[in-house]
Amino acid sequence: MRLKGKVAIVVGAGQTPGDSIGNGRAISILFAREGATVLLVDRNLESAQETQKMIQDEGGVCSVLQADVTIESDCRAIADTCMERYQRIDVLENVVGSGTGDRGPTSLTEEAWDFLMDINTKSVFFTCKYALPYMRQRKAGSIVNVTSGAAVGSVGYVGYKVAKAGANALTHSIAMSNARFGIRANVVMPGLLDTPMAMEGHSTARGVDKETLRRERDALVPLNSKQGTAWDTAYASLFLASDEAKFITGVVLPVDGGQSARIG
């Protein structure tokens, strides 16, 4: 019960359809198992409701809210709704992200660039903007933003990398400017994970079967030559969200089997 008595917002609590579990769903389930009341936010209401049923079937407490986090008014509504329903915000977890439309620097379109910045960076700014005043009132709170190892690694596409690096920098700024209010802000930076978004998306985009893709991705991971799963992201998020990390802020925590440590 590491989050007993706390209220957590998970933005991106649904998931892409697939044969494994996604980060947002795993985080939501784990937070509820650890005693949190969870507000499940997703653009896809049906997917968030699937997560809700899984939590409630285990006896957890949660509710759902449909929102598009690229729209500022929706992000204001996330914070306001949490306060209306539960009277507090202890944890804000941002999981939403996408690499759709990304290309190299000479072929990336303006529309794709804007989308990647909106979904991966601006959305984090918006949700934090409206949760922070409520956290400041209580002089407590934990923000955990899920980004990507692409922010620091060598990747072939430019938009997603820049957007996730921006989310890392945004988190650092929020951590430093809100430390005096007792608010912590940290990043979980996953590497290669066997999640529906990664596997279904890359399999479709490249036209390769998922087992071949799994073998290719596994071979790139130093630790046991095996990708991680959404549960690895979830347990890292749980630690940073909990009071066990009460003296940790401004951290970017790689959860990648050592991939980002491989230099040279």
Q: What is the mean pLDDT of residues 209-225?
A: 94
Q: Which residues pair with 65 in a beta bridge?
A: 41
For the chain, the average pLDDT equals 96
Is 147 in contact with 119 (CB distance < 8 Å)? no
Active-site residue identified among 86, 157, 160, 235: 160
Q: Which of 15-19, 100-104, 205-209 has the lowest mean pLDDT?
A: 205-209
Q: What is the pLDDT of residues 83-94, one digit of tens each?
A: 999 999 999 999
Strands (E), the chain: 7-11, 37-42, 61-66, 91-94, 141-146, 183-190, 252-255
pLDDT value at 156 more than 90: no
What pLDDT score does 217 carry? 95
Q: Which helix (H) or strand (E) holds 51?
A: helix 45-57
Cα 180–chain centre separation: 25
* Burial class of residue 103 in the structure, from the number of CB atoms within 10 Å of its CB (0-12 exposed, 13-18 middle, 19+ buried): middle
Each domain of the chain, given as residue ranges in start order, spans 7-254
Residue 160 annotated as catalytic: yes
Is 117 in contact with 159 (CB distance < 8 Å)? yes
What pLDDT score does 223 carry? 97
Could you confirm whether domain 7-254 is CATH 3.40.50.720?
yes
Q: What is the mean pLDDT of residues 158-163?
A: 97
Q: Which of 206, 62, 227, 210 is nearest to 149 (CA)?
A: 227
What pLDDT score does 263 carry? 72
What pLDDT score does 264 carry? 57
**pTM value?**
0.96
What pLDDT score does 201 carry? 77
